[in-house]
Structure formats: C-alpha cells, structure tokens
Amino acid sequence: MKKVYLQTFGCQMNEADSEEMMLTLAAKGCTQTQKLEEADIVLVNTCTIREHAEHKAISYLGRLAKWKAKKEGRKIIFTGCAAQRLGQKIKKKFPHTDIVNGAKNIDNFSSVIEKADLFEDQNTQPLSAPANSPIALVNIMRGCSCKCSYCIVPYVRGEAYSLDPKNILSQVKVALESGAKEIVLLGQTVNAYNYKGFSFSKLLREICSFDKLLRLRYLSPHPMFINEEFLQTLKDCPKIARHIHLPIQSGSTRILADMKRNYTREELLAKLKALREIGIEISTDIIVGYPKETEEDFKDTLTLCQEAQFSAAYCFKFSPRKGTPAALFKELDQKIVEKRLDILLNEIKQSSKDAYARQIATKQQVLFETPTNGRTSNNFWVRTKEKYPVGAVVDLQIKESKDTILLA
Ligand code: SAH
Ligand code: SF4
Ligand code: F3S
C-alpha cells in the first residue's frame, strides 16, 4: 500500500481540492502519512496568487529532489494554480517531477493518475471518508469570471461556473452525518453562485434546514454580489455565521474602478453598515501599493478601515502577476509601499484588538477545533484552560482578551 504525504499551499479552495485528490488516491489503495520520510508519493498542491506564494511552492519542489533520490520508486505530483501557470515547464526545470496537473484539470485528476501508471497493483478500494473533522469544506463554484486587474486566478482557474445544488446538498448531508458541525461553502466569488436560477441565498436557506448543522460559513464573498436577498437571508437564518470575510482591496473609488471591482467607496460603506446592523463581524483583504495608488487613495483606504472597524484584515503588498492588466503598469517605489503597509498594519492591529475587547463579558457559543481552542460564530478564537473534545459545542462566558485570542 502506497503512502502519500500531502503539502497544500494557498487558499481554502486548494485545501478542498487536496481533500478531493486524496480521496482519489485513497480509492487507488493509498493511505495518507504525516511523515515525509515514510512516504512513497508526495502531492504538492500549489498557489500562485502572489510571486512569493509561487516561489514557496517551487522551492519546496526543489527540495524534494533529495527526498526522491533517497529511495527508489518515490513519486512527486505537482498540482494546483502554480502548476497551471507554469505547466510542463516545471518538468524541464525539475526533472524529478512525475506528474504536473494544473488547477483547471482537477476534475480529471483520477484519469491523469491512472495514465501515469503510478500504481503497479491496481488495488481498487471503496472511497474512504476524510478524517472526522468538525468542519467540512464544500466547493460550490469553480473558477472566477471577475477579472480584477491584478489577479491571476481567472487565468489559472478558468471561467466561473456553479455546481449543481443537488450534489452540493448531498455532499453536505454526508459531511453532517459523518460528524461535521460546521460547513464552509467555497468559491472565489462564492456569493455569485447561481445554478440555473437557484441563488446563493436559496442554497444557504436549504443548507440551514439540516437539523444536524450548527454553523454555516462561506468564502470568499464579493461586495458586488451582496444584495437585499442575501441580507434578508442573514437575518432569517441564525445558523449562518455572524461573520463575513469580505475582501475590499481598497477604500478609494478611483483605485477600485481601476481594479475593476465594480463598487465605489460609498456603496461599500453602505454594505458594511448593513452587515454590521445585522450583527455581523467583518474581516477583509486589502492590497497596498497598487500601481497608481496616490497618498490620497491610500488615505481613503485608511479612513475606510477606521470607519469599518474590521475584526481582522490580511494586507498584501501588490505583486505583479504576468498576464494580468495591472502587471503592465509601472510599480510604485517599494519604500513608499513598505511605509503604507506599516501604517495600515498598525491601524488594523488596533481595530482587531478593539474587536476582541468588545467580546469581553459576552456569552459565546464555541466550536472546539482542538481540545483547548475553538471559534465563535463571529469568528473569534477562544482558548480555555479546561479541555474539551474536538467538535464539542459549548456556551462560554468570555473573561479576557489578549490581542487576538479570547480567554474563557
Ligand atoms: N476571490 C477573492 C480573493 C481571492 S485572492 C476576492 O475576490 O475577494 C485572495 C487575496 O489575495 C485577494 O483578496 C487580494 O487581496 C490578494 N491578491 C490577489 N492578487 C494579488 C496581487 N496580484 N498582489 C497582491 N495581492 C493580491
Ligand atoms: Fe481574483 Fe477578483 Fe476573482 Fe477574487 S474576484 S479571484 S480577486 S479576479
Ligand atoms: Fe492561490 Fe489558486 Fe487559491 S492562486 S489563492 S490557490 S485559487
């Protein structure tokens, strides 16, 4: 029986794809190992969202040459978004790579594996369910059609399409029956989901009607697709997490237009306000140093953050991705970008600290992901002295906040 070591880079969609590929490998008789040294196969699922992400994946692949040389018959499979961007060039540069399978070809992973003749004994076993986790990731869309000016995703993942709700609902049912408490719906513009008129809100409502479901999350929604129907669904369905991760990218209408984000600062502020009025905590992604970003534009981002009081924000320095429109623009002076990033990070650190502090003395329902760490519906981490079983759901009084963790 072959043992597979899995290394996943990138977003949760990649995590979900990795799980799917592991199921395919399990069906071929493979088991997963946590130890690289005892593995026969390494599956590297990669990201290319920024240059640094791609670099990480490639240098990991480079280091695997030594691992492969140590024992005969070892194999390396390189998949995902960086694999899609770089294609078979990878094999030229790293001849120790056995299979390259890009993100667009994920649905054909099974036949790619079969053709590659990795397995001398064609041991076909029934699919085994993934390890019992309280959280199940479920892909509801593939690709992205937004073509934001800076973003490589539409090129490596292809056009957006929504998956059949029948299949999604049966996947959710299986996950809940095998012990999942929380479902996370995934898609690059997850709230643009629409299957022949079956909307994202309709899907949320259907999933909430499962008795066994405790909590429903979704990643990543796009501000453009936040509409009245969705806001009403949030109001009607308390099982939907009281948190949204809503990437804004910038607070300047001028930059947002250049990025092709399809919303203005004012529209954004109105949507953030509407979400907050329902009691939803908001976290976000922001790009700093987008080409053409002036001091004025940056200030707009900063003041928007001050107003929005995000509970968390991932701030990224703009990274030019070859083939995207924004890669053709002249980059800003890196010193200026560093300075802006620093200012923004300080602002976010403060608003995040404040958001955590606001939770003190509240009662929160915590879903434990480790014996002493769990998350609240509004997405704050809670740590306890007492140990709980993973998957336990406990109502706890928040006593203290320490930077980005709550103590109960
Ligand atoms: N689909 C999501 C985000 C996917 S990528 C959305 O549209 O919001 C995750 C984050 O990476 C983005 O929100 C953005 O902030 C960042 N990002 C994407 N391309 C980037 C680039 N070229 N340089 C820097 N950050 C980038
Ligand atoms: Fe990239 Fe924009 Fe699509 Fe998000 S919505 S994946 S940022 S193109
Ligand atoms: Fe990275 Fe691909 Fe996700 S580029 S962020 S792994 S969609």
The model's pLDDT over 97-113, given as tens digits with 9 standing for 90+, comes to 999 999 999 999 999 99
Q: Is the domain defined by 130-241 classed in CATH 3.30.70.100?
A: no
Ligand 2, residues 144, 156, 262: which to mutate, most atoms within 8 A of Cβ? Answer: 144
- The whole-chain average pLDDT of the chain stands at 95
Closest CA to 226 of 256, 261, 183: 261
Q: How many angstroms separate the CA atoms of 219 and 233, rounded?
A: 16
Q: Is the pTM of this model over 0.85?
A: yes
Locate the domains of the chain by residue range: 3-115, 130-241, 271-358, 363-407
The CATH number assigned to the domain with range 271-358 reads 3.30.750.200
Say yes or no: do domains 130-241 and 271-358 share a fold. Answer: yes
Longest dimension (CA), the chain: 64
Ligand 2 nearest atom to the CA of residue 261, by list position: 2
Q: Where are the beta strands (DSSP E) in 250-331?
A: 281-288, 312-317
Q: How many angstroms separate the CA atoms of 46 and 219, rounded?
A: 19
Write out pLDDT tens, residues 113-141. 988 877 665 555 544 445 568 999 999 99
Distance of CA 228 from the midpoint of ligand 1 (Å): 25
Residues in the chain where the model's pLDDT stays below 50: 126-129
Ligand 3 pocket, residue 81 CB under 6 Å:
yes
CB atoms within 10 A of CB 212: 12
CB distance 152 to 324 below 8 Å: yes
CA distance to 55, 81, 150, per residue, from 328 (Å):
21, 21, 10
Ligand 1 pocket, residue 316 CB under 6 Å:
yes
Write out pLDDT tens, residues 260-310. 999 999 999 999 999 999 999 999 999 999 999 999 999 999 999 999 999
Distance of CA 27 from the midpoint of ligand 1 (Å): 34
Position 128 scores a pLDDT of 47
Task: Quickly name the fold that domain 3-115 has.
Answer: Rossmann fold (3.40.50)
Ligand 3 pocket, residue 10 CB under 6 Å:
yes
Position 122 scores a pLDDT of 53
**Nearest-CA residue for atom 1 of ligand 3:** 47
Distance of CA 192 from the midpoint of ligand 2 (Å): 12
